[in-house]
Structure 1
């Protein structure tokens, strides 16, 4: 029986990952702040991961075969985790993001070598303890967190660079609901200028991929995305199809400066998944699941 620790993971694809680990016979421990009960069948540890003493006390003398860190957003959090889990895990999997490529703008898919964590400058003096700062610097925080883990030889580590996730009735982001609300009301959909396609993955597929990663032995960054980038228009078309008779004709309103709708991007940074596929994981195509995922999120049969 493997010992697996999931930091965070109480919702969305984290809880799906936990279900897969339990079904495989792993003993799963979940570490979080205790604000929500963990899924049935797991051990719960309660700690504030931003507080090193609290995290170390919660972990105690426990050791793990794999740690899956679902909620590491800053270099400070990564540095704390590195110190606490050195000697406590045989493998560390950090859930990263496609947003680490946010400074790129490419028509061809980007492979992992496009961003080498060893080249990222870490700036721990920035206000990483400020939630508003962290939210505004999401991609940068993830980049620097990757760099902190990659810099040390504390344990074998993987950074899973996750595409934008779609699907699930429990999608808490409200992004697809934003489109449904505007379409029902006949309001325009605001889009960036230019409006570029982006890379996506189904919520079930990313849970499958993370589960698969916990059973591998490779290290370093790895991209995780379904084939087939999607533009805003593709997602809106799926929303319209899901709404059926409720939908009205869609009007788009280009915005050069200011807020735009979710899933509208002025830059394009599609991801190359050749590394994951060469290691043995086969990704689906967005056309295989987009309609189902949108309908499930909107609660439409």
Structure 2
């Protein structure tokens, strides 16, 4: 049994993570702003993680075996947490993203299409950090999401005071009403309404992970002893055409596609550039992944069953 602090953990796979930690017998503390109460049996600290003085005061004399940070988006937030948790935890796990590899958002090493991108393509130990950028501005942060994650990883990697690991998650699907991004619902809605799905003519494959599998991986990462980044994705990349076909098969409809040129915005998961991740490191460390093709039909069925989803 470990003492685990989860920062965030109020929705989607973060909420499931808290539930899984409790089921496994761990002592769990959740830190968030109080909009959603955690399950019974969880120590709940209501505080804004951006307010360093308030965070430090709320922590008091608490110490943890592991911190799992679900909602760190900027180097400023990372620096606050690195100071607040120094000496309070032996291990810090940050939930990061596949977007750190997006070549449209930074000058990154070139990877040939079809070659899964390894963790060393973005090394947080040497990535430059610019805390003075307007990270507090929501519009700026949204436009620089990938860079915010890269720099947050970099701050933790150099902080010292605890062992640091970053879980770089693939695109998360599944969960029905839990899934709040609406990206899979974009496909199910358009297919069932007979509306065109905008895709690139040569849409490149990307990788996915089911929300329960990601929660399981985070539980595993909390108990492990590896450091540095690790990619989290199910086996079997798909492109936007594959995803549309999977939705159409489940819905019993035909998918209508509209081709858009390179550089033009398309539907979610249609990419005109390659950055599908490799999960080889996580496998070598002992985690076993499912195949996307095995769980995707269930995720599509959940999205089709949501209230308000079109029907015949």
Alignment TM-score, normalising by the size of structure 1: 0.95
Distance 2:188 2:50 in 1: 37
Offset of 1:259 from its aligned partner?
3.1
- 1:15 aligned onto 2:1: no
Distance 2:266 2:255 in 1: 19
Correspondence for 2:195: 187
Correspondence for 1:164: 171
Correspondence for 1:127: 134
Correspondence for 1:197: 205
Tell me the secondary structure at the aligned position of residue 118 of structure 1.
coil
Tell me the secondary structure at the aligned position of residue 36 of structure 1.
coil
Do the aligned partners of 2:199 and 2:257 also contact (CA within 8 Å) in 1?
no
Do the aligned partners of 1:226 and 1:284 also contact (CA within 8 Å) in 2?
yes
Distance 1:132 1:254 in 2: 26
Tell me the secondary structure at the aligned position of residue 289 of structure 2.
coil
Distance 1:270 1:248 in 2: 27
Give RMSD over aligned pairs: 1.5
Offset of 1:248 from its aligned partner?
3.9
Distance 2:27 2:170 in 1: 28
What are the superposed Cα offsets for residues 204-224 of structure 1, whole Å, 9 maximum, x if unpaired?
111111111111111111111
Length, aligned pairs only: 298
Distance 2:283 2:163 in 1: 20
Do the aligned partners of 1:109 and 1:271 also contact (CA within 8 Å) in 2?
yes
What are the superposed Cα offsets for residues 60-119 of structure 1, whole Å, 9 maximum, x if unpaired?
110000000000000000000000000111100000011111125532011111111122
| Corresponding residue to 2:232 among 221, 224, 230 | 224
Tell me the secondary structure at the aligned position of residue 190 of structure 1.
strand
Match runs of 1:273-292 below 5 Å: 273-292=279-298
- 1:148 aligned onto 2:143: no
Do the aligned partners of 2:70 and 2:94 also contact (CA within 8 Å) in 1?
yes
- 1:117 aligned onto 2:124: yes
